Amino acid sequence: MSENNAASDIEPSRSWWRIVLIGVIGRSPRFTVIRILCYVVLAWGVFGYVLRPMRVAGISMEPTYKLNQVNFINRWSYRSSEPQRGDVVAVRMAGESVLYLKRIIGLPGERVVFHRGQVFINGEELPEPYVKNRAPWNDPEMELGPDEYFLVGDNRGMAARDHDHGAVRRSKIVGKVLL
């Protein structure tokens, strides 16, 4: 019995704070600080230049995107390619920090018209399986310029006058929604 007491007296007692400190920073504090700095620089680069978080603040994209849902905008998605029909994009329609979420339905040079809630592109009906609710929108035909895209939300159950939609220059499109 005295041998057990002697062995425990020889081992240094570890305090709880030392165990926590080693668990948090590891056995090499210098390596941990370098690792943390690398993570901070990586996060700054990714979220400062590539991805932008965005919270949905309206109902114009329901049911595809719900109110208060958080998504990421890939700002580099159109560096090597142009936006395509059906892409959901973030667009600057009202200032630098206000972004709208909209779907591209018309491409440069096309004619777009709403007739009884249905979209027609160059005279042909556009199939839109993502639209679940349609009000009888009637908008006159619009021909898009060489640098314009026609954007609209998926929630077409609301009146057209209550819905921001229309032609937008390519420079206003910030990027493509990831999720």
Q: Which residues are catalytic?
A: 60, 102
Closest CA to 130 of 112, 114, 153, 150: 153
Q: Are 52 and 90 in contact (CB under 8 A)?
A: yes
Which residues, 6+ apart, have CB-to-CB distance to 10 below 8 Å? Answer: none
The residues pairing with 101 across neighbouring beta strands, listed in sequence order, are 90
Closest CA to 107 of 29, 173, 38, 62: 173
Amino acid identity for residue 110 in this structure: E
Q: Are 113 and 175 in contact (CB under 8 A)?
A: no
